[in-house]
Amino acid sequence: MRPCHAAIADWLKPLNIPTTIDAVGNLRAFYPGNDPAAPRLLIGSHLDTVPNAGVYDGMLGVVLAVALLEELGGKRLPFGIEIIGFSEEEGVRFGVPFIGSRALVGKLDEELLARRDAKGITVREAIRQFGLDDRRIEEAVIGEDALGYIEFHIEQGPVLEKAERQLGVVEAIVGQTRLALRFLGRANHAGTTPMDARNDALACAAEWMTGVETRAKENPGLAATVGSIEAKPGATNVIPGEVRLTLDVRHKHDETRSRFVHEFIGLAKEISGKRGISLQWNALLEQNAVALNPFLTDQIDKAIRNSGCEPYRMNSGAGHDAMILAERIPSAMIFLRSPGGISHDPSETVLQNDVARAIDCGVHLLTQLASSQEFLGRTCRA
C-alpha cells in the first residue's frame, strides 16, 4: 500500500495537490474551490483488492478522480474536490469490509477495531504497525461541508456488455449477509472406519453447500456463495473432523435476503443433525440494501448522455464504499462495462474508449453540479 500511496501522490504533484493518509489508511487529497470556505465534493474508490485479482476493481475509480482534476486544468469550481482512496474495502484480511469508509461516517467502533486477522493481529494493531495513530480515527470523519460522494467503478458483471452500453447509472446497491460456519464431526482413520460409522464434517458441509446452491438457482435475484472452506486435519487418509467455511448471501430486497439466510441456517441444522455433526455459526456482516441519491443519479444520467452515450440504469450486485457513505451524505455511482463480465481475476479489464467516455461524463457532471443551485444549496439529501 505504501508504493500505491506514493504513486498517486506523484500523479498529483504536477497539480500542486498534496496528499495525506488518515488514521485508518485512507489516502486523502484536496483540490480547493474558488472560495477557501467552499464546501467539497468527494470522489474516489478503494485501493485494496482480493487475492489473485485484476488491476481495475477500485483503483480505476481513484485514477479517474485524478484524471478529472487534470481535465480541470486549474479551473476552480464553486466547491472543492476531495479525492479519497479507501483502505480495506474488500474485507479480506479481517473478514469485515468497508473499514476505510466506515471511518468517514464515524462507524469504526471498538468491536471492529478489536477484530483479528488469521495471525491474531487486531485492526487497531494493524493501524499502529502501519505507522498511523489510532487515537486520531475520529479526525477521518467527513465534515458538514461535504456535499456528496461520486464513485466510478467497473461493473464487475456482464449486464452493460449484454446491453451494449458503455456506462451505467447505479440506482441501488443490494444488501448482503456474510456468515462464518463451523461443522464439527469426528476425525478418524479413512481406511478402518466403516462408511456408516462416520461423522464426516466435510461430507456434511458438501451436502449443505449443494442445497444452498440449488435453492439460490431456484430464486432469481438471489446470490449465495461459499467463498472459502477449510477442512481439518487436512490429511489424505483422515476423515475430516472439522470444516470452517463462509457464506455470502445477497438480494436487492432485505426481507428476501433475511428469509433465505434463516432458511440456509435451518438447512445446515437439519443436515448436521441427521449426520451427527455439531454446528456453530455467526454473522460477519449485515449490510442492508442502499438506494443511491435520486438527484445525483439523474445528474449522472444527464452527464452520460452529454458525453455521447446512452445510459443504462441498473442495480449493483456488489457492495461498494458508496453504500457506506450514503448513510451520511448524498452518494451515487457510475459503472464502466466489464468485458466478459470478469472481475476479481487477473483477466479483469476495461475498454480504453469506455474510460475516455467516463472522463467526459465526469467533466460534464462537474459542470452541471457547479451550476446547480439545488446541489450547491445542499437540498439533495442522502
User: Which residues have a Cβ under 8 Å from the Cβ of 268 and sit 6 or more positions away?
Assistant: 181, 183, 208, 279, 281
Return the amino acid letter for 56. Answer: Y
Shared-domain flag, residues 44 and 128: yes
Q: What is the pLDDT along the chain (382 residues), one digit of tens a residue?
A: 999 999 999 999 999 999 999 999 999 999 999 998 999 999 999 999 999 999 999 999 999 999 999 999 999 999 999 999 999 999 999 988 899 999 999 999 999 999 999 999 999 999 999 999 999 999 999 999 999 999 999 999 999 999 999 999 999 999 999 999 999 999 999 999 999 999 999 999 999 999 999 999 999 989 999 999 999 999 999 999 999 999 999 998 999 999 999 999 999 999 999 999 999 999 988 989 999 999 999 999 999 999 999 999 999 988 899 999 999 999 999 999 999 999 999 999 999 999 999 999 999 999 999 999 989 986 555 5
Shared-domain flag, residues 277 and 351: no
Shared-domain flag, residues 9 and 128: yes
| Residue finishing a domain among 233, 254, 287 | 287
| Residue finishing a domain among 287, 316, 348 | 287
User: Which residues have a Cβ under 8 Å from the Cβ of 41 and sit 6 or more positions away?
Assistant: 79, 80, 81, 82, 146, 147, 148, 149, 150, 366, 369
CATH number of the structural domain spanning residue 95: 3.40.630.10
Cα 368 to Cα 57, 150, 305, 374, distances in angstroms: 27, 14, 12, 11
Shared-domain flag, residues 198 and 269: yes
Shared-domain flag, residues 168 and 307: yes
Shared-domain flag, residues 56 and 14: yes
If you ran DSSP here, which 8-state letter would residue 121 be given? -
pLDDT tens for each residue of 204-230: 999 999 999 999 999 998 999 999 999
If you ran DSSP here, which 8-state letter would residue 150 be given? E
Instruction: Answer whether 0.85 is exceeded by the pTM.
Output: no
Q: Which domain holds residue 25?
A: 2-172+289-376
Shared-domain flag, residues 240 and 142: no
Specify whether the CB–CB gap between 281 and 212 falls below 8 A.
no
Shared-domain flag, residues 44 and 167: yes
User: Which residues have a Cβ under 8 Å from the Cβ of 32 and sit 6 or more positions away?
Assistant: 38, 76, 80
Residue 170 grid cell:
447505479
